[in-house]
A and B are shown apart, each in its own frame.
Chain A
């Protein structure tokens, strides 16, 4: 096969060409290849061209080490971008499924509900954390809150703060009462108690004294030696007059207006109780000759009624309860002729008379 020519031999030589140039050709084939390349012009030209190409490749400028990674990276990035664009274009060409009209809204609502539930739970936790620590919550809610606290850092912190606060308050150091303070309180209490005892004694003494006085007064009163001092009897009230001894007495009253020819005599019958014997009084055994207690007022002071009372009025000393009023205080009984005031004469009824509801008979 070594001196063999023809296309089959050239084809065999071209297959061995890279092995010959790389130095990896088998030794048995080397001599045959060299003989054929010498004898075959075409194969010799091919071998020469291959050797020139190899030399040219070997003489190419070499890249430095620091340029290589950047170039490689750039190449990789370009390839990746191309790939991404390619993928995107491919995906864009895919037929797309249209979402249902409420799909997006449903997703939004779901997300909002989850957030709201979480926030609501946090709010509930914040409100109930003290009850949770007190153990006042139902078991289900307690479990839910504890689970929530495990997954929520905010609520876990709230729980920790609440626990710390409780511990800090409960374990706050306490003041010990000072001995001097205790003694001061004791002294103050003793003072109050002593004051109370003193007051009680004083009250007892005063009570005893009052009781003794009352006993003396009661003794005097019971033995009939009690005499009411005259200054205790109430002094006159204008309209009050003592009850006369007689049934009724005509009293001459000065006219209120100037009289015509005859001197005006207005007759007034003072209402009085029916005559009765003077009631025996325990306080005053009877009228005693004393200074008159009742005095008439001047005429200009009380013109119509109580002025100018005459007769026994000034001299009569009556017991205080035996007083009567002028007709104004008496019931105008029809049958009690003598018991209503009556004016006779020409005098007109005066304003005082009308003010006292006096029945006028002109």
Chain B
């Protein structure tokens, strides 16, 4: 397995804050077209954060819908609409946590072997490698505690800044750094056997 084949794609860009602010303002006043543009802008990010948290595409899509419905309902009460993105991710994290709690209550916990690959457009051989690697990564992520998983997802997958993460998680920047340090250490320790096998 080649973990290196997962090439860094860099932080995903979203629209500028001022643009988001304008759209969020319009959406708060009931403009569904503006909100639809916001959905188009943030749908992928919300879906991926939710997927990394719950590891099931169907659950992630349900969470996604719940997040946007909640956002549209609560948007008039959002004071600083330039922080719409962080606020949306906060809702996503909360919804994902609720979904995991419901799953535990139903005793429907995810079997780690159940984690499937994420389809991609590469050629077959490379896709197989990527599938293996992404499965390992997702399995390791699911093995982490939720509070550590979310910081890893937001920072190392979604490429958020510490400030954005602090807003999204409703905590201080130093707390985010602390949690991220622990999460990365834990992830590194669990990744270690795979890296040895990979002879990196």
Contact = CB atoms under 8 A, between A and B. Distances in A.
A161 to B, nearest CB: 5
B36 A164 contact: no
Contact of A171 (B8, B48, B196): B8
A176 interface: yes
B181 A161 contact: no
Interface string B11-35: 0000000000000000000101001
A193 B192 contact: no
Given A165-B191, A167-B6, A181 B61 contact: yes
A157 B200 CA distance: 8
Contacts of A196: 30
A174 B48 contact: yes
B122 to A, nearest CB: 9
B85 to A, nearest CB: 16
B73 A182 contact: no
Given A169-B137, A174-B48, A178-B61, A130 B9 contact: no
A239 B114 CA distance: 80
Contacts of A184: 65
Interface of B: 3-10, 30, 32, 35-36, 39-40, 43-44, 47-48, 51-52, 57, 60-61, 64-65, 68-69, 72-73, 117-120, 130, 133-134, 136-138, 152, 156-157, 159, 180-181, 184-185, 187-188, 191-192, 195-196, 198, 200
Contacts of B9: 170-171, 174
A245 interface: no
Contacts of B117: 173
B100 to A, nearest CB: 18
B153 to A, nearest CB: 8
A192 B48 CA distance: 25
A258 to B, nearest CB: 75
A190 B31 CA distance: 10
Nearest to A178: B61
Interface string A188-228: 11101100110000000000000000000000000000000
Given A172-B138, A185-B64, A165 B188 contact: yes
B43 A182 contact: yes
B188 A192 contact: no
Given A161-B195, A175-B51, A185-B68, A130 B44 contact: no
